[in-house]
Structure 1
Amino acid sequence: MPSPAKGLTQPERLEISGRKLLEAAVALIGEKGWEATSAAEIGRRAGYSRAMVHARYGNKDAILQTLFATEYEKKLSPDPDPDSTGLAQALAHLDRISLLYAEDREVLRAIFVLTFEAAKATSQAHPYIQMWLRRAAHTVESGLRTGIDDGSVRADIDIEHTVNDFGATVLGIGYQWVMQAFPYDMADELVHVRARFIREYGSAAD
């Protein structure tokens, strides 16, 4: 049987191997976390040799950097839509989580597992998660301030409290879903929380 890579260009082979390694890393993070996952395991899960991670990325840490660039930044941290209301911009991160839950739960699970694992100051993911959480908070705050100006957000809200409410609620939902200590309908909870945010922080006229 001919190799599936036969006839592919070198850039195409690199793209395929890189994608397979990232997919393998995502699956393993969801199962056992980042620190317990070795580069050799990632290579084998992807269908390559145990040395493939080092050959393709140089080291395991480079995969982590790529995951943050492709999964956290691109999928969960959208640039604000200038044509949307400030309230919609503040809700954009929550909306991306809902979309990812519907389209790729394995990736979303890995993101949450990695986020909670990074609570340890010694975790390799710690600085990345700190940076991502700060950016997410800044995006929500910016959206709220824009919303106050455009009338989509109540003018009397406490912005700091509201930003904290957004962050704590989203992380709490993620934790309950990952743990599954009891039946938990994440899709329904995300809809409920979005409605609450609009009810509590949106203006009556919006």
Structure 2
Amino acid sequence: MTQVDTQPLRRRTQAARREQSDRRMLRAAAYLIGRRGLHATTLAEIGVRAGYSSGLPVVRYGSKFGLVDTLLAAMDRWCETTVASMTGGRRGLDALKARAEAYIIGARTIPDGAAALQTIIVEARYAFPELQPRIDAFLERWRLGFRDDLLDARRLGEVRSDLDCDAYANLILGAIRGMTIGRFGEDLREVQRELPPLLCEMVRQALALPSA
């Protein structure tokens, strides 16, 4: 094999190594941020915890903002993939229930990521305002997902035609965030089992179709 022949393989190997180092650094970032807070966590500590040099995160992400932005993007992709998998083929309130369960599963099965996200949401509001637009967009996508499920439920006749889908989407997202804050791992198993059906029942009872 010539040097020219080996170049594509070398590039693939380099890409794989970079992908692996990204995963390890993002996991390290989530672990440290969830336990120590965003302000108290340094890029150097993240690099060392990930098993690399203290300077690699600076080279890769440029700043703490760059790393956190990348971490949030990775969380967003995971959420979208998981939600799409769980809601596929479902409609209306059935899709809403699956969507709610998907978000709780994330907090239960990836506790470091959930703790980091909750920390980032709080600190973005008070200490890192440059992150607020990313957080707002992140949460708005969650809210819009619930709103769209409610709109579909309204079209399907599962709820009354005067349902305020935006208001109830806010309520549902708030309930999920409130029930999961500070709770991770197996502590959320009961929440995962009970909250999604309760949310759907709340919508049904509050806006039930009038009896004939």
Question: Shift of the alpha carbon at 1:79?
Answer: 4.5
Q: Answer yes or no: is 1:171 the counterpart of 2:174.
A: no
| 8 Å CA contact retained: 1:76, 1:97 | yes
TM-score by length of 2: 0.78
Instruction: Give the whole-Å Cα distance in 2 for the aligned partners of 1:56 and 1:91.
Output: 39
Q: Which has the larger radius of gyration?
A: 2
**4+ aligned runs moved over 6 Å, structure 1:** none
1:27-38 paired onto structure 2 within 5 Å: 27-38=31-42
Q: Given the alignment, which residue of 75, 78, 91 partners 2:78?
A: 75
1:160 maps to 2:162: no
Q: Is 2:45 the counterpart of 1:18?
A: no
Cα distance change, pair 103–177 in 1 and its aligned pair in 2 (3 A):
closer
User: Are the structure 2 counterparts of residues 201 and 154 from structure 1 closer, same or farther at C-alpha, using a change threshold of 3 Å?
Assistant: farther
Report the counterpart of residue 111 of structure 1 in structure 2: 117
Equivalent position amino acid for 2:64 in 1: K
Contact kept, 8 Å, 1:148 with 1:154, in 2: the verdict is yes
Partner of 2:201: 199
- Deviation readout 1:112-136 (Å, 9 max, x if unpaired): 2222322327434322111112221
TM-score between the two structures when normalised by the length of structure 1: 0.80
Instruction: Give the equivalent residue in structure 2 for 1:66.
Output: 70
Greater CA drift, 85-94 or 143-152: 85-94
| Residue identity (%) | 27
How far the C-alpha of 1:60 sits from its partner, in A, is: 2.5
**Unmatched runs of 5 consecutive residues or more in structure 2:** 1-9
The residue aligned with 1:123 is 129
Distance 2:166 2:59 in 1: 46
- Name the CA shift for 1:120/1:90 in 2 (closer, same or farther; >3 Å): farther
Structure 2 residue 140 is matched with structure 1 residue 134: yes
CA contact (8 A) 2:93 2:149 kept: yes
User: Distance between the aligned counterparts of 1:131 and 1:189, measured in 2?
Assistant: 25
The structural deviation recorded for 1:172 is 0.9
Aligned length: 193
Work out the CA distance in 1 between the residues paired with 2:61 and 2:38.
16
C-alpha separation between the residues in 2 aligned to 1:56 and 1:176?
31
Contact 2:47 2:55 (8 Å CA) reproduced:
yes
Counterpart residue identity of residue 96, structure 2: A
CA–CA separation in structure 2 for the residues paired with 1:127 and 1:70:
16
Q: What is the aligned-residue RMSD (CA, Å)?
A: 2.8
Q: Distance in 2 between matches of 1:42 and 1:156?
A: 50
Specify the alignment match of 2:97 in structure 1: 91
- Equivalent residues of 2:47, 2:54 under 8 A apart: yes
Report which stretch shifted further, 97-106 or 49-58: 97-106
CA distance in 2, matches of 1:135, 1:94: 13
